């Protein structure tokens, strides 16, 4: 099955699906997704919620690391996230592009750029993921 289709199906019934995040492309060192600006991703005043942007970025980086590891042996968890929100929007679809900048045995670091429909920069985010060996009971 296509990796992007499998990711979208795997995530559909989680918070990722609730926010409307859809993976659109992936390579071994980058991954892309979209997220609509809606009442589910906005503050009560209608502006995009910064937490939704961070959720998009962490989702993208996590999925990128998930693709890279042996899923039979390892789990991936977000370890640290740091974002700068430079603009906001009230409608449209966001596009997030994540680029792998470090792939170690136990950590992966991703740079994520989130833009609006008009290519306007909304947020830049750095995500560090921890790669953890599954416990024996998780494999049984």
Dihedral of CA atoms 83, 55, 115, 65 in degrees, nearest 10, equals 90
Alpha helices in 20-102 (DSSP H): 50-68
Q: How confident is the model at residue 136 (pLDDT cuts 50, 70, 90)?
A: confident
Domain boundaries defined on the chain:
3-139
Active-site residue list = 58
Q: Does pLDDT of 27 surpass 80?
A: yes
pLDDT band at 95 (very low <50, low <70, confident <90, very high): very high
Provide the terminal-to-terminal Cα distance of the chain, rounded to the nearest Å: 24
- In angstroms, the CA 47 to CA 58 distance is 20
Tokens representing residue 110 in the block: 């991703």
Architecture of domain 3-139: Roll (3.10)
């Amino acid at each position: 099955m296509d990796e992007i289709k499998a990711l979208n199906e795997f995530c559909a019934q989680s918070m990722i699906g609730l926010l409307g995040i859809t993976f659109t492309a992936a390579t071994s060192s980058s991954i892309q997704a979209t997220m609509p600006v809606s009442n589910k991703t906005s503050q009560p005043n209608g502006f995009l919620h910064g937490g939704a942007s961070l959720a998009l970025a962490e989702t993208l980086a996590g999925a990128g690391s998930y693709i890279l590891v042996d899923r039979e042996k390892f789990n991936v968890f977000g370890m640290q996230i740091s974002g700068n929100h430079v603009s906001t929007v009230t409608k449209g679809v966001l596009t997030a592009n994540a680029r792998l900048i470090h792939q170690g045995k136990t950590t992966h670091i991703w740079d994520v750029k989130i833009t609006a429909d008009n290519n306007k920069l909304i947020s830049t985010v750095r995500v560090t993921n921890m790669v953890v060996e599954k416990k024996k009971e998780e494999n049984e």
